[in-house]
Structure 1
Amino acid sequence: MAEVKSRVNVYSKLTVVSSRPIGPGKTHCLSGLDQSMGLHTLHTIFYYRVNPFPNSDLTNHRVSLSEHLSSYPAVTGRLARAEDDEWLRSARGSEELDLTAWEDMPDDPSIWSPFRIQINDFEGGGLAIGLSCTHMHADLTSLLTLVKSWAELHRGEPISHPPVFHRQLSSNTNTKSTEFYAKKSKAEPLPQVKMATATFRFSNLMIKQCLSQIHVTCPGATPFDALAALFWMRILKLKPPAHNHTRKLSICIDFRRRMNPPLPLGYFGNALHFSQLPLDALDGDILGHVAATRLVHLHVAEVRDEEIWSTIDWFESNRGQSMPHFRMYGPELTCVSLEHTIDVLGGENGNNGTCQSLMYEVMFKKDERPVHVSCHVGNVEGKGLITILPSSEGGLGRTVMVTLPEEEIDKLCEDEAILGLEPAMIMNGRK
């Protein structure tokens, strides 16, 4: 197949530095959990219907970014080794990554920028801001608060979630979570398979109708529970019976607000907890959607401080040893939740139809919210990745981004159970 030429033209590259230089000798140590993300990158794109920088003058946003970076020394530093517009309707899932700038780490990381921002001005109007970084430096919540804080500073308003770079560590005993990580760290690499991504947008109304049926047996079920179960079950039907990895769902949640006391939302780094949910003793039968939703809901609800602290301690105790990096997003099917970003503004999740997520409060001009936000994880292999995000509609509306082996993605886009919830197909297509 002939290579498709990119529709994105790069006109210039600029470096933005902190307006206040950081003194010599200052370092920011990555945690053991941060270092475990070494194989992955993050790429987030914010789409705006109207260019938030008037008259195409980008000078002011560079000035505000330079000032903003003074509060984020970890972003401007260098790694040292220790010992709805037209694009959204027509772009392929792989093509979207052209809206972010990235290059892999060179042999000498002291001259390499771990954070990249790309400003994309569309011919037909609108603008997209693409931000990429190493996953070692930050998780998706960190990226969202970074860009939101920049937008607030650009508007001359106080920063809602100031950055925090350190957390208190605590030793703990082994738990089932540490056993899961230890097993992942020793897993043999899987054969490389070409992956593709599709994006589904589900309306507030359709998710509300779906949950009304589920709440009879699982009153506390969230949109994440229902959609994680739905996509898990439908993807499971696409896999051969011998693919046991798909019968185990790795669930990734943010633990900032699950700690006691909770970490500030502005904590900058990785605050992610991965746990495994297996389908045991099914005797070959596929679990019903309602039962699978309850299974996911109970699993997420049962994640406690002890599990989280034990994994933090496990990563710290293995830091600096000969253990190689391993894929946190794989080899089993992985599902990522961003439910924690929804009620940070005080709205009740699911009860307030106008409640917006943190990512849709990134406004460089007052009341000019993004019309869509995409979040990609780089170097995903194995059985696939499901990322469940808030949508621009607010309330119960959700966007689901799915990365699967290429031959499976088209089948998923035609799945009757998924199409029964009438999703809008934002982007899909093979690489």
Structure 2
Amino acid sequence: MEDRVRFICKRTVVSTKPVEPGQLYRLSVLDHIMEPNHIRLVHYYRSSKIREPGEITKKLRESLAYTLNCYPIMTGRLVKEIDGTEEKDQELNRQWKVRSNDAGVRMVEARTTGTVDEWLRSVNKEEELKLVHWEDMYHLPYYWSTFYVQVTEFESGGLAIGLSCSHLLADPVCAMMFVRAWADLTLTRNMMGPPLYHPLPPRRFTNHRLSNNNQLLSHYIKSCSITAQPSNVTEDPIFTVTLLFPEPLLRAGESEPGLSPFEVLAGLFWVCVSGAKGKRNELMDMSLCFDVRKVLRLDKSYFEIQNITKRLDYDAVMDLIEWLGSSNNPISNGSDLVCTNLENMVNSHPMIFEKDLILSHVSCYVEGPVAGGGQVIVLPSRSGEGPMSRVVMVSLPQREMVKVLENELLQSFSPFDAKLT
């Protein structure tokens, strides 16, 4: 397919107000375990208005600079430092921190032909990722931007806003909240929800014993003990499909009142993917990613993975955090199916940059070793599809994906390609 995306330039956008130079932001143990991964988001906006080339990009570039005033971590750079000790003696214990230096974020400007709707009818993953620039860290991390923004104008109307970042510094929830704050500032010149930065809760008393009944902790201790088995089969390429599940078939039946769309879809894909992987009378392990900030009495600044949705309390999460802080074993989810809940990130507060720009579709990719057993991301659908309809992005090896899409249980929910509408 001919390359439809034409790159114009790559700039550095800095905040309009200077920050305190040299300030260090320390990262939590939850941040550090996600270091090998990065996030890519693409927000598509329809528009009936045809603008001059570069007009909307210039406006967004200017409002981005003001937005960054509230995000000094985004404009800083990663460093590894040891406080008060010789680096040669502590090399293995060095961890990333963010040094505030106003270095800014990289912004890529691009254009493509047609409209957003025409693009969505034909785009695949490889081409979609051209709308969200990302660069891996090279040998000089102090000059490497941990966040990239890309604004792509559609020549016949519409816009794509891409944001990529290291999972070390943000999770998908925080990344979407930044886009929302940027949109608010662009539209109203007022940030309705400025970020608040809080550390994790302090460690509990030293005599506090970890709970033997903590299912969350037990899962991750087991996960760390599992090593990947060598395979003689040539590795399948990973495919990603995006499905829209209509509202009527997601409404919980009378026999199971109170189920959320996420719980229905997580269970559905747990069964279908387990079958595709050859599990006949059992289910594969699955980790669920959803927001537990309220459990920890924090604002939206942290991310957590777990495999229980009920009976999750403060001590259960703190057990995991304290175990991670004292363990030398990194978590490896090489065999789990990872299911992420982002269903409330758009409808609760629309991301509107201008009144004529209507959010049409959101794509989210979490790339890296986080989901060796497959990945399912549940997103809200666009407005007008019903409050319970959902978009699901599924990433699996090709042969397993074919089996999942042919599964009769999945077909009974009548999903269809979310990017075709």
Q: How many residues align?
A: 371
Match in the other structure for 2:38 = 41
Deviations for 1:135-188, whole angstroms, at most 9, x for unmatched residues? 010111101110111111112343232111223423354233223223333432
Match in the other structure for 1:229 = 267
Could you list the runs of 4 or more consecutive aligned residues of structure 1 that deviate by over 4 angstroms after TM superposition?
A: 51-54, 190-193
1:183 is paired with a residue whose SS is helix
Q: Is the 2:287–2:337 Cα contact (8 Å) retained in structure 1?
A: yes
Deviations for 1:175-230, whole angstroms, at most 9, x for unmatched residues? 3322322333343245665211001011223323xx1x2x31x2221111111111
Match in the other structure for 2:318 = 309
Deviations for 1:65-117, whole angstroms, at most 9, x for unmatched residues? 11110110111111112426112111113332121101111121101000001
Q: Is the 1:39–1:326 Cα contact (8 Å) retained in structure 2?
A: no
Q: Does 1:263 align with 2:255?
A: no
1:202 corresponds to which of 222, 245, 251? 245
Q: Does 1:402 align with 2:394?
A: yes
Q: Is the 2:184–2:352 Cα contact (8 Å) retained in structure 1?
A: yes
Give 1:52 deviation, angstroms. Answer: 8.4
Q: Is the 1:41–1:135 Cα contact (8 Å) retained in structure 2?
A: yes
Distance 1:157 1:124 in 2: 27
Distance 1:423 1:140 in 2: 24
Match in the other structure for 1:280 = none
Between structures 1 and 2, the one with greater strand share: 2
Distance 2:202 2:268 in 1: 36
Give 1:124 deviation, angstroms. Answer: 3.7
Give 1:421 deviation, angstroms. Answer: 2.1
Q: Does 1:365 align with 2:402?
A: no
2:289 corresponds to which of 237, 252, 264? 252
Name the TM-score, length of structure 1 as normaliser.
0.79
Match in the other structure for 1:104 = 136
Q: 1:52 to 1:133 in 2, by over 3 A?
A: farther
1:247 is paired with a residue whose SS is coil
Q: Is the 1:257–1:263 Cα contact (8 Å) retained in structure 2?
A: yes
Q: 1:368 to 1:235 in 2, by over 3 A?
A: same
Match in the other structure for 2:123 = 91
Q: Which stretch shows the higher mean deviation, 408-417 or 192-201?
A: 408-417
> How is 1:166-245 mapped onto 2 (pairs within 5 angstroms)?
166-171=198-203, 173-174=209-210, 175-189=214-228, 193-208=236-251, 211=252, 213=253, 215-216=254-255, 218-241=256-279
Give 1:250 deviation, angstroms. Answer: 1.2
2:394 is paired with a residue whose SS is strand
Q: Is the 1:171–1:310 Cα contact (8 Å) retained in structure 2?
A: no
1:12 is paired with a residue whose SS is strand
Distance 2:49 2:79 in 1: 36
Q: Is the 1:53–1:61 Cα contact (8 Å) retained in structure 2?
A: no
Q: Does 1:152 align with 2:149?
A: no
1:201 is paired with a residue whose SS is strand
Deviations for 1:235-263, whole angstroms, at most 9, x for unmatched residues? 1221124998x52111111112333xx32
Q: Is the 1:43–1:132 Cα contact (8 Å) retained in structure 2?
A: yes
Give 1:317 deviation, angstroms. Answer: 3.1
Give 1:121 deviation, angstroms. Answer: 1.7
Distance 1:189 1:131 in 2: 32
Match in the other structure for 1:129 = 161
> How is 1:331-410 mapped onto 2 (pairs within 5 angstroms)?
331-341=335-345, 356-358=347-349, 361-366=350-355, 368-380=357-369, 381-393=371-383, 394-410=386-402
Match in the other structure for 2:97 = none
2:405 corresponds to which of 400, 407, 413? 413
Distance 2:354 2:215 in 1: 47
Q: 1:127 to 1:190 in 2, by over 3 A?
A: farther
Distance 1:130 1:243 in 2: 42
RMSD: 2.5
Q: 1:376 to 1:357 in 2, by over 3 A?
A: farther
Distance 1:312 1:51 in 2: 48
Q: Is the 2:340–2:376 Cα contact (8 Å) retained in structure 1?
A: yes
Q: 1:52 to 1:112 in 2, by over 3 A?
A: farther
Q: Is the 1:51–1:127 Cα contact (8 Å) retained in structure 2?
A: no
Q: Does 1:78 align with 2:77?
A: yes
Q: Which has the higher contact order (CA 8 A, sep 6+)?
A: 1
Please tell me the residue identity of whatever aligns with 2:237: K
Deviations for 1:247-281, whole angstroms, at most 9, x for unmatched residues? 2111111112333xx322xx33x322322xxxxxx
Please tell me the residue identity of whatever aligns with 1:333: L
Distance 2:144 2:229 in 1: 30
2:42 is paired with a residue whose SS is strand
Between structures 1 and 2, the one with greater helix share: 1
Deviations for 1:361-415, whole angstroms, at most 9, x for unmatched residues? 1110136331001111012452201111111135101011100012222332333
Q: Which stretch shows the higher mean deviation, 171-180 or 402-411?
A: 171-180
Q: Does 1:300 align with 2:305?
A: no
> How is 1:278-289 mapped onto 2 (pairs within 5 angstroms)?
none
Q: Which stretch shows the higher mean deviation, 384-393 or 55-64?
A: 55-64
Q: Is the 1:199–1:402 Cα contact (8 Å) retained in structure 2?
A: yes
Distance 2:281 2:198 in 1: 40
